[in-house]
Amino acid sequence: MTRFRRLFAEHLAPLVGSDVDSVAEQIGAPPKPDMGQLAFPCFPLAKERRSAPPKIAAELAEQLAGTEIPGIVAIKAVGPYVNAFVDGAAAARAVLPEVLGRGAAFGTHDGGGGAQVPVDFSSPNIAKPFGIHHLRSTVIGHALVGLLTASGYRPVGINHLGDWGTQFGQLLAIWEKKGDEERLTAEGIDYLLALYIEFNELKKDDPSLQDVARDRFKKLEDGDPECRRLWKLFRDVSLAEFERVYALLGIRFDDTRGESFYEDRMGAVLDELESKGLLKESDDATVVDLEEYELGVALVKKRDGSTLYLTRDLAAAQFRWDSYDFPRALYVVGAAQALHFAQMKKVLELMGRTWHDRVDHIPFGMMRFADRKMATRSGDIILLEDVLTEAIALAKETIVAGANEKGRENPDDLDELAHAIGVGAVVFNDLKNRRTRDVVFDWKQVLSFEGETGPYLQYTAARIGSMVAKAERAMSTVAVGTDEARTLAEGIDAAQLAGQDELRLVLAIDGLRESLDRAVTAAEPSLVADKLLEIAARFSTLYSNRDWKVLSDDEATTDARLALARATRQALVNGLDWLGIPVPARM
């Protein structure tokens, strides 16, 4: 679409007396396809020309009527707009060879220039179960890593584990009273959670426990061997459990150092803050006063001298800058922490870090729960692992029921298939909406496989796959992503794809690249998710039409439609891959 918009703008620009770029920017899409594919609004011209917009539109259309513009079949005034009608055959000729020629690389580019971009995501607190509320950061962050990769960056996925802080003091405090290593080995994280809950129960009657906890964290920070040993044990037990979830989701990190990694790097930060005169004592704690920037007061050291979240994040930011020299550093962390990151950026600025504005908090809305009955094995918490397992089980049921109904055998890769579908459903469900929205967890929605869902996209890709497998043509067997595929696609009879529905599909496929760029700029995976739904829907409309069969005796038609179908599949596969969603070969 971009290419035709450009072309249209080039011809319009001299007529309206402004440059091509600004004209191109004004060109939009008409509300209905029978009004054309491109629309130039004439309202802004009305004042300078002292004429009515529809009249101007008519004049411009008149002036362009005689001009041959490759790929554009007609230019008409439609009310106050000058609309261009893109030639479906030309669009197909332009787009399909590119998709089939580039294959898995279609839509991608190297605009990122190989720059490293740290992406801080998931980052669960150890010693606490991996709840469904961790899904958002985990899945959005993972998608951003994929999108950045597709844009030519080298993202560095960082799992900034919450493995340091007073919470471990709490755990150590209760451990002294009740700790049982055998139970820990047997029950794992559930036991840690139980201890944590018990600590908070006891604290209600005995508030002094919180002081004990703070003291134990201080001991931990000061290197007490027993505290260290226990802390490491808690960490290992937790990590082993998180790993199961990451395996289910197919996520791996480039770097899993947590907050504890920075314990010996905070001193330098504090010293620098001190030497730059940024520190202040306040109620016996050490703070950076940001009141004049309307960012409140940022605590960097507690009364007892131990450190805080911000202190560690400052050290981590510095470490990342030193390690990666990033054009941008992403923190996929809930919107509730907006103030924390604003403070962090401001402190970095005050420290003279020129790169402070490359630090980018990517907030997302909260996950809430409609009621408390949805709880699973650990009190009030819904475990992400349980949700995934449930989705996979339901996917399996669906596959088996479907096979039954059609009198077929179960597929031999049943479990693998169920896994891809179940996980795809859960992941896509989280990615399809703008990330800043709060979401209310709803089993029914998460486990839905129909409509605007991951399985819908997977299904669309899968049915194309098996249809193509039935065709016995060069166009169906040639490997995509090769020059041969490109050449074959260039050779199709594009006139076969000149219809309105085909054109809309081709333009949607062509739009994938633009959606990628917008998604990366805005750090918003849903923009790609939306485009994928559009592509799938446009294809499904064609595919369900009984008068539109891909495979037929007419070789020219068959090859043209095969090229279109394969391009559709490729676009879906690529986009889903960026989002971190697997695409099964068959469903």
Partner RNA sequence: GUCCCCGUAGCUCAGCUGGAUAGAGCAUCGGAUUUCUAAUCCGACGGUCGCAGGUUCAAGUCCUGCCGGGGACGCCA
Alpha helices in 300-377 (DSSP H): 309-324, 338-350
The yes or no reply on residue 452 touching RNA (CB under 7 A) is: yes
**Amino acid at residue number 201:** E
Nearest partner of 102 among 583, 584, 587, 574, judged by Cα: 574
Q: Which of 108, 151, 159, 166 binds RNA (CB under 7 A)?
A: 166
Nearer of residues 36 and 118 to RNA, judged by Cβ: 36
Alpha helices in 53-121 (DSSP H): 53-64, 88-102
Tokens for 158, please give them.
Answer: 């960082």
Query: Which residues between 140 and 159 bind RNA (CB under 7 A)?
Result: none
> Minimum Å distance from CB 110 to RNA?
23
Tokens for 127, please give them.
Answer: 């010693």
# residues near RNA by CB under 7 A: 102
Q: Is the dihedral of CA 49, 53, 56, 57 positive or negative?
A: positive
Tokens for 421, please give them.
Answer: 């579908």
Query: Which residue stretch of 30-38, 62-70, 191-199, 349-357 sits at the interface with RNA (rule: CB under 7 A)?
Result: 30-38
Nearer of residues 445 and 487 to RNA, judged by Cβ: 445
Nearer of residues 6 and 302 to RNA, judged by Cβ: 302
CA angle 510, 516, 517 (to 5 degrees): 105
CB 398 within 8 Å of CB 406: no
DSSP state of 304: T
> Minimum Å distance from CB 299 to RNA?
5
The yes or no reply on residue 59 touching RNA (CB under 7 A) is: no
Nearer of residues 105 and 537 to RNA, judged by Cβ: 537
- Outline where DSSP puts E strands in 215-302: 279-282, 285-289, 297-301
> Cα–Cα distance between 158 and 127 in angstroms, integer?
19
Q: Which of 135, 150, 209, 467 binds RNA (CB under 7 A)?
A: 467
CB 329 within 8 Å of CB 117: yes
The yes or no reply on residue 18 touching RNA (CB under 7 A) is: no
The yes or no reply on residue 28 touching RNA (CB under 7 A) is: yes
Query: Which residues between 364 and 423 bind RNA (CB under 7 A)?
Result: 365-366, 368, 395, 398-399, 402, 417, 421
Sheet with 116-120, edge to edge strand ranges: 154-158, 116-120, 329-332, 359-362
Nearer of residues 36 and 101 to RNA, judged by Cβ: 36
Q: Is the dihedral of CA 417, 420, 423, 428 positive or negative?
A: negative
Q: Which of 451, 472, 479, 483 binds RNA (CB under 7 A)?
A: 451
Nearest partner of 97 among 528, 531, 481, 390, judged by Cα: 481
Alpha helices in 65-207 (DSSP H): 88-102, 135-150, 166-178, 181-187, 189-205
> Cα–Cα distance between 276 and 270 in angstroms, integer?
10
> Cα–Cα distance between 112 and 367 in angstroms, integer?
32
Nearer of residues 96 and 310 to RNA, judged by Cβ: 310
Nearer of residues 85 and 153 to RNA, judged by Cβ: 85
Binding letters toward RNA, positions 530-549, x by CB under 7 A: x--x--xx--xx-xxxx-xx
Q: Which of 6, 218, 353, 518 binds RNA (CB under 7 A)?
A: 518
Query: Which residues between 104 and 143 bind RNA (CB under 7 A)?
Result: 125
C-alpha separations of 267 from 125, 315, 341, 351 in Å: 23, 9, 20, 15
The yes or no reply on residue 52 touching RNA (CB under 7 A) is: no
Query: Which residues between 243 and 262 bind RNA (CB under 7 A)?
Result: 259
> Minimum Å distance from CB 253 to RNA?
17
Query: Which residues between 287 and 316 bind RNA (CB under 7 A)?
Result: 287, 294, 296-297, 299, 302-304, 308-309
> Minimum Å distance from CB 579 to RNA?
16
> Minimum Å distance from CB 148 to RNA?
20
Strands 154-158 and 116-120: parallel
Query: Which residues between 488 and 517 bind RNA (CB under 7 A)?
Result: none
CB 377 within 8 Å of CB 450: no
Query: Which residue stretch of 174-182, 238-246, 381-389, 428-436 sits at the interface with RNA (rule: CB under 7 A)?
Result: 428-436
> Minimum Å distance from CB 114 to RNA?
27
Tokens for 108, please give them.
Answer: 């991608």
Query: Which residue stretch of 160-168, 226-234, 240-248, 377-385 sits at the interface with RNA (rule: CB under 7 A)?
Result: 160-168
The yes or no reply on residue 551 touching RNA (CB under 7 A) is: yes
Nearer of residues 178 and 368 to RNA, judged by Cβ: 368
> Minimum Å distance from CB 394 to RNA?
9
Which residues are registered as beta bridge partners of 329? Answer: 359
SS3 12: helix
Q: Which of 550, 563, 571, 579 binds RNA (CB under 7 A)?
A: 550
Q: Which of 18, 63, 149, 210 binds RNA (CB under 7 A)?
A: 210
The yes or no reply on residue 21 touching RNA (CB under 7 A) is: no
Query: Which residues between 178 and 207 bind RNA (CB under 7 A)?
Result: none
> Minimum Å distance from CB 540 to RNA?
3
> Minimum Å distance from CB 87 to RNA?
18
C-alpha separations of 432 from 321, 384, 447, 533, 568 in Å: 32, 18, 14, 9, 19
The yes or no reply on residue 582 touching RNA (CB under 7 A) is: no
Binding letters toward RNA, positions 75-94, x by CB under 7 A: ---xxxx-x-----------
> Minimum Å distance from CB 154 to RNA?
27
The yes or no reply on residue 267 touching RNA (CB under 7 A) is: no
| CB contact set of 100 (below 8 Å; sequence gap of 6+) | 478, 480, 481, 485, 486, 488, 489, 563, 566, 567, 570
The yes or no reply on residue 17 touching RNA (CB under 7 A) is: no
> Cα–Cα distance between 296 and 294 in angstroms, integer?
6
Query: Which residues between 320 and 349 bind RNA (CB under 7 A)?
Result: 335-340
**Amino acid at residue number 326:** F
Q: Which of 177, 229, 252, 434 binds RNA (CB under 7 A)?
A: 434
> Cα–Cα distance between 122 and 138 in angstroms, integer?
4
> Minimum Å distance from CB 185 to RNA?
26
CB 185 within 8 Å of CB 233: no
> Minimum Å distance from CB 120 to RNA?
12
